[in-house]
Amino acid sequence: MIIKAEVARKEQLREVLVFLLLVMPSMVLSLFVIRQGALSFDVTAWATILRDIGLVALIAFFLWHNGEGRERIGWKVRAGGNEVLLGVAMFAVLTTTSSLLDEGLRAAGLPGPSTPLPKFLEATGAWQYVLATILVVVVAIAEETIFRGYLILRLSAITRSTGLAVVLSSVIFALGHGYEGTAGVVTVGFMGLLFALVYVWRRSLVAPIVMHFLQDFIAIVLLPLLSHR
């Protein structure tokens, strides 16, 4: 049994390394392209949507190949209504604490983004607001599936520590937000940590998805739409 467990652990390590090999280069390269101002909103939105759908499809293949059900990565719909309400309530906690953290980091001299919303995430016109809504829905579902459901499952098995898995998944999640400056990266890492803690607590992705969606929808869709009126 010990030998089989060790073999399974090594297989999961190889699987995670393959997954990170696919996702990390695109995260790093996108950071350099973004800093050069080479991305429009349409290109950013479609590239992100297609990438995230592809990564979720890859995770689905891994689960199928290993004979694992979707429940293993938190895809549980039992008491969905209660989980949605919990997500809304926890979003209030997320907003308050992350705002205080961001303000404190900026006050300490850590750099943040020069504008509230980067140009490549700034929608203009009716079609782009529709695309922005589609984007935040896909991102909330996909990134919680990737960084919370899948990575915590695999990193827990590899490191034999759920706590370490939570921290590592939050760090990886934050690395994709380098365009937000040091303060922004730390704040996003904290948000990822809170998403992860709620996921580990509930063993369901519903509440973290709701929290993630509300965060992005307000920042990318609602506030810009209201400011243009």
CA dist., res. 165 & res. 151, Å (int): 7
Count of domains observed in the chain: 1
**pLDDT score for 55:** 92
Say if residues 109 and 37 touch (Cβ distance below 8 Å): no
Q: How confident is the model at residue 192 (pLDDT cuts 50, 70, 90)?
A: very high
**pLDDT score for 110:** 87
* DSSP single-letter state for residue 120: G
Long-range contacts of 199-204 (CB under 8 A, 24+ apart): 199/74, 199/144, 199/148, 199/149, 199/152, 200/152, 200/162, 200/166, 202/83, 202/86, 203/74, 203/76, 204/74, 204/76, 204/78, 204/83
Residue range of the domain that includes 129? 2-227
Over the stretch 65-115, which tens digit does the pLDDT of each residue have? Answer: 999 999 999 998 766 789 999 999 999 999 999 999 999 999 999 887 656
| Distance in Å from the first CA to the final CA of the chain | 64
**pLDDT score for 79:** 65
Say if residues 145 and 205 touch (Cβ distance below 8 Å): yes
pLDDT above 70: residue 174: yes
**pLDDT score for 211:** 98
CA dist., res. 187 & res. 21, Å (int): 25
**pLDDT score for 2:** 54
